[in-house]
């Protein structure tokens, strides 16, 4: 029997880590992840979680500790955000390359520079090729549920790939919501005890893990990781369906909302999909047929599921919380465009919500209005951007120098 | 396949990739001989990583993980914690890193490991430059030594690892040398029996990088001890002891002249360095009495 609890996104992530009974925790505090590190350290100290908390000196060391611990055959946990994830970058690839199925909540925050404490998706988008599965959460219930399911997905022998559970900084991490939390016994039954499916550092059965590997083996090992990602799609569908049977909440790789007869949709990630759903309801009350496509799994990117949800929709607004500098479009837009390349659709790219700038009802309405107008654009539309005052580079003559 | 003429003893295989006369090889053979097979080692990229294996051919008969260059101490911390979580408090968790992976890029995670009091045995084999990438200077490269990135000789002193370890109040740290294997083995016996962070700094000649003949690495190591360029000492629960005290110090020119990396050192520089080395040796003798 599940019980209701009032938790913010960070506390929901901690609740899931606790219920997964990890044995080693290592984290370095960073806004807005800090309360995860604090709470984990507290429950390790008071015995609520029977695990050792390692108070490291950096995120790089946090991830290294967790990899080291999990390589001995136990479940281990960390969490981070923003530049903390960027600092981990090198070792994120070690975790995925060594097939260490770590589950890590990432509290999305902008990357420096400019320095910002607030939410966007630059941090996790910068890691989209790091060999980690990425799932984005809409609300606090979603954070808890996704974390629990992530253990099953990551640790599946046919996947063996670490998972980032992405939750929007402050919008989810610090927002208290009433969520359903199952009993420990139900979670035990759902996740099971950790059984390492790959090499472990065992003095009674010595192996060398991750020594220098030549070009003869590297391609095949990378291919194995690609197979892991390919397998992750059916594995996720299986876990989603078991989760729904067990706990009654429906999950999907790509969620369509008001999409059936829609003239236009907004495709987006994370907490803004909640706002988009609300606005699409409001607009439908006025007879404007719009919907939302929430992308849950960004890695692996579920192309097939997306095509099914798109159906006959012809106007697609891709709203990304990252700038995708130098690209033809933002990371999400590139995926959507590639998935629908054979269809003659208007797929327009919008950038909003950088560094915590609010994506409110008006923002969403303006995207719907623009996409319904049907005008294409050869570059992303920067919503609410004061282009005139964006500091366009002044032409300087040689005489201006001093 | 390699045609094996004679089976090796101990936990390091025959036919390893180390250069002739390499200090690091003799040192790891002796360390593992003392520590035994209940040992797990973390090795960062560098000479020791290439040495421990390539692809399917590996050289160590104990569990090993090749980490990254800057986080060996953190990997070791995690491995220790993972073992402890499974009730294993007996396996020695060892790090075998070079001077770059220890004193430069790895100093932060090593500092964290020492400060937290992790039960890890950290070994730095010090060949005084980045030898695996081809003799670039490190913070452990000695004063006036040539390297490809200190072409005129290094203009600052070598970083002092054990003083850094002592500042972290580790229970045990020591210096060893390829030139005195009985002393090295004795110190590893001791380190094995002590709990907490232990740091051992080992003098490890690199014939290629130092410009010496492979047959001379032990001789050069011994001359470093005789001249006071390398002092064999240990620090145990707050007490410092100089283990080997030459009757009188040989002049450092005897040591420097054995190696091509010091050939550009002028008489004035030699004199200046001599004073620094003598002063340092006398300081160590005084510290022993505290």
Strands (DSSP E) along A233-352, which ranges? 254-257, 264-268, 290-295, 297-299, 315-320, 346-351
Query: Can you give the pLDDT at residue B188?
Result: 98
B:7-36 residues touching chain A, CB 8 A cutoff: none
Query: Can you give the pLDDT at residue B58?
Result: 87
| Set of chain A residues whose Cβ sits within 8 Å of the Cβ of B73 | 61
Q: With an 8 Å Cβ cutoff, are B40 and A201 in contact?
A: yes
* B105-112 average pLDDT score: 98
Query: Can you give the pLDDT at residue A391?
Result: 61
**pLDDT tens digits, B42-90:** 999 999 988 888 888 888 999 999 999 999 999 999 999 999 999 999 9
| Set of chain A residues whose Cβ sits within 8 Å of the Cβ of B111 | 57
Mean pLDDT, chain A, whole residue set? 96
Interface of A with B (CB under 8 A): 23-24, 26, 51-52, 54-58, 60-62, 64-74, 76, 90-91, 94, 201-203, 205-214, 216-217
Q: What is the rounded distance in angstroms from the CA atom of residue B266 to the CA atom of residue B248? A: 24
Q: Tokens for B53?
A: 């294996």
For residue A336, the distance in angstroms to the closest alpha carbon of chain B comes to 36
The single-letter DSSP state of residue B141 is S
* Mutation choice for A interface testing from B36, B38, B74 by most A CBs within 10 A: B74
Query: Can you give the pLDDT at residue A396?
Result: 54
| Set of chain B residues whose Cβ sits within 8 Å of the Cβ of A93 | none
| Set of chain A residues whose Cβ sits within 8 Å of the Cβ of B64 | 201, 206-209, 211
Phi-psi region of B211 (alpha: psi -120 to 50; beta: other; left: phi over 0): left
Q: What is the rounded distance in angstroms from the CA atom of residue A41 to the CA atom of residue A288? A: 50
* Mutation choice for B interface testing from A64, A94, A100 by most B CBs within 10 A: A64
For chain A, count helices (H), then strands (E).
12, 16
CATH 3.40.50.920 boundaries in chain A: 254-388
CATH superfamily, domain A3-247, is: Thiamin diphosphate (ThDP)-binding fold, Pyr/PP domains (3.40.50.970)
CATH number of A254-388: 3.40.50.920
Query: Can you give the pLDDT at residue B9?
Result: 79
Q: With an 8 Å Cβ cutoff, are A67 and B111 in contact?
A: no
Q: With an 8 Å Cβ cutoff, are B54 and A206 in contact?
A: no
| Set of chain B residues whose Cβ sits within 8 Å of the Cβ of A54 | 77-78, 81, 116
Q: With an 8 Å Cβ cutoff, are A24 and B83 in contact?
A: no
The DSSP H or E segment spanning A163 is strand A163-168
Render the burial of B217-234: b for 16+ CB within 10 Å, e for the rest: bbebbbbbbbbbbbbbbb
- Where along chain B do its domains lie? 23-289
Give long-range contacts, CB 8 A cutoff, 24+ apart: A283-286. A283/A365, A283/A368, A284/A258
Nearest to A212 by CA among B210, B52, B10, B104: B52
Q: With an 8 Å Cβ cutoff, are A212 and B54 in contact?
A: yes
Question: CB-based contact (8 Å) between B38 and chain A?
Answer: yes
Query: Can you give the pLDDT at residue A395?
Result: 54
Q: Using the predicted structure, report yes or no on whether residue A392 has a pLDDT greater than 90.
A: no
Q: What is the rounded distance in angstroms from the CA atom of residue A320 to the CA atom of residue A350? A: 6
* A24-45 average pLDDT score: 98
Residue pairs between chains A and B whose CB atoms are closer than 8 Å: 158
Instruction: Out of A372-381, A383-392, B99-108, B184-193, pick the least confident.
Output: A383-392
Q: With an 8 Å Cβ cutoff, are B63 and A207 in contact?
A: yes
| Set of chain B residues whose Cβ sits within 8 Å of the Cβ of A202 | 63
3-state secondary structure of B230: coil
Q: What is the rounded distance in angstroms from the CA atom of residue A33 to the CA atom of residue A173? A: 7
Q: Can the peptide bond before residue B183 be classed as cis, meaning omega within 30 degrees of 0?
A: no
Render the burial of B116-136: b for 16+ CB within 10 Å, e for the rest: bebbbbbbbbbbbbbbbeebb
pLDDT > 90: percent of chain A: 95
Query: Can you give the pLDDT at residue A387?
Result: 79
Cα B16 to chain centroid distance, Å, stands at 19
Q: Using the predicted structure, report yes or no on whether residue B170 has a pLDDT greater than 60.
A: yes
Query: Can you give the pLDDT at residue A19?
Result: 98
CATH 3.40.50.970 boundaries in chain A: 3-247
Q: With an 8 Å Cβ cutoff, are B82 and A69 in contact?
A: yes
Residue with structure tokens 């990551």? A154
If pLDDT is split at 50, 70 and 90, which confidence band does A255 have?
very high
Query: Can you give the pLDDT at residue B2?
Result: 59
Question: CB-based contact (8 Å) between B63 and chain A?
Answer: yes
Query: Can you give the pLDDT at residue B15?
Result: 74
Q: With an 8 Å Cβ cutoff, are B78 and A54 in contact?
A: yes
For residue A48, the distance in angstroms to the closest alpha carbon of chain B comes to 15
Q: Is the dihedral of CA A246, A249, A253, A256 positive or negative?
A: positive
CATH number of B23-289: 3.40.50.970
Cα B233 to chain centroid distance, Å, stands at 13
User: What is the spatial order of strands in the sheet that B198-203 belongs to?
Assistant: A208-209, B64-66, B39-43, B92-98, B121-126, B198-203, B172-177, B233-236, B239-242
B:103-162 residues touching chain A, CB 8 A cutoff: 108-109, 111-112, 115-116
If pLDDT is split at 50, 70 and 90, which confidence band does B13 have?
confident
């Amino acid at each position: 029997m599940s019980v209701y609890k009032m938790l913010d996104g960070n506390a929901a992530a901690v609740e899931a880590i606790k219920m997964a009974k990890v044995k080693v925790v290592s984290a370095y505090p960073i806004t807005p992840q800090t309360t995860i590190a604090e709470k984990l350290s507290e429950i390790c100290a008071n015995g609520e979680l029977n695990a050792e908390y390692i108070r490291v000196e950096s995120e790089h060391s946090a991830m290294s500790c967790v990899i080291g611990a999990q390589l001995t055959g136990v479940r281990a946990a960390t969490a981070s955000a923003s530049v903390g994830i960027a600092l981990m970058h090198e070792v994120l690839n070690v975790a995925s390359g060594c097939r260490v199925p770590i589950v890590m909540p990432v509290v999305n925050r902008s990357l420096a520079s400019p320095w910002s404490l607030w939410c966007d998706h630059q941090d996790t988008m910068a890691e989209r090729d790091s060999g980690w599965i990425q799932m984005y959460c809409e609300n606090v219930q979603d954070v808890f549920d996704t974390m629990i399911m992530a253990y099953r997905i990551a640790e599946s022998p046919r996947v063996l790939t670490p998972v980032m559970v992405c939750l929007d900084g402050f919008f989810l991490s610090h927002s208290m919501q009433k969520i359903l939390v199952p009993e420990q016994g139900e979670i035990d039954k759902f996740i099971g005890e950790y059984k390492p499916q790959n090499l472990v550092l065992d003095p009674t059965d010595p192996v060398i893990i991750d020594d220098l590997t030549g070009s003869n083996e590297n391609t095949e090992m990378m291919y194995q990781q690609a197979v892991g990602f390919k397998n992750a799609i059916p594995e996720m569908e299986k876990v989603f369906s078991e989760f729904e049977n067990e706990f009654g909440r429906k999950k999907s790789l790509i969620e369509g909302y008001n999409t059936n007869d829609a003239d236009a949709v907004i495709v987006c990630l994370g907490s803004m999909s909640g706002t988009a759903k609300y606005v699409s309801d409001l607009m439908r009350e006025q007879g404007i047929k719009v919907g939302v496509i929430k992308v849950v799994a960004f890695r692996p990117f579920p192309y097939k599921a997306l095509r099914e949800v798109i159906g006959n929709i012809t106007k697609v607004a891709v709203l990304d919380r990252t700038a995708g500098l130098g690209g033809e479009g933002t990371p999400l837009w590139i995926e959507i465009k590639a998935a629908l390349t054979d269809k003659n659709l208007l797929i327009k790219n919008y950038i909003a919500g950088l560094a915590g700038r609010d994506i409110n009802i008006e923002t969403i309405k303006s995207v719907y209005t623009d996409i319904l107008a049907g005008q294409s654009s050869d570059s992303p539309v920067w919503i609410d951007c004061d282009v005139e005052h964006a500091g366009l580079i002044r032409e300087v003559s040689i005489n201006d120098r001093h | 396949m390699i045609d094996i003429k004679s089976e090796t003893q101990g936990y390091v295989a025959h036919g390893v990739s180390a250069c002739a006369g390499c200090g690091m090889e003799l040192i790891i053979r002796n360390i593992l001989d003392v520590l035994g097979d209940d040992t797990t080692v973390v090795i960062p990229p560098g000479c020791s990583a290439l040495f421990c294996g390539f692809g399917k051919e590996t050289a160590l008969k104990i569990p090993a993980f090749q980490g990254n260059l800057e986080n060996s101490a953190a990997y070791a911390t995690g491995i220790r914690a993972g073992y402890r979580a499974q009730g294993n408090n007996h396996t020695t968790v060892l790090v075998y890193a070079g001077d770059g992976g220890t004193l430069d890029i790895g100093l932060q995670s090593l500092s964290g490991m020492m400060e937290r009091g992790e039960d890890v045995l950290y070994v730095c084999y010090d060949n005084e430059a980045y030898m695996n990438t081809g003799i670039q200077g490190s913070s452990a490269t000695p004063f006036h030594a040539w390297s490809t990135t200190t072409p005129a000789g290094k203009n600052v002193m070598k970083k002092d690892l054990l003083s850094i370890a002592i500042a972290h109040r580790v229970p045990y740290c020591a210096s060893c040398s390829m030139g005195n294997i009985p002393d090295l083995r004795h110190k590893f016996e001791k380190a094995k029996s002590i709990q907490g962070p232990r740091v051992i700094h080992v003098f490890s000649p690199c014939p290629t990088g130092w410009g010496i003949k492979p047959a001379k690495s032990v001789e050069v190591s011994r001359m470093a001890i005789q001249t006071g360029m390398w002092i064999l000492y240990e620090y145990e629960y707050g007490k410092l002891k100089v283990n080997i005290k030459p009757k009188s110090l040989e002049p450092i020119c005897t040591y420097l002249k054995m190696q091509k990396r010091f050939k550009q050192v002028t008489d004035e520089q030699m004199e200046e360095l001599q004073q620094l080395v003598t002063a340092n040796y006398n300081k160590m003798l005084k510290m022993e009495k505290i």
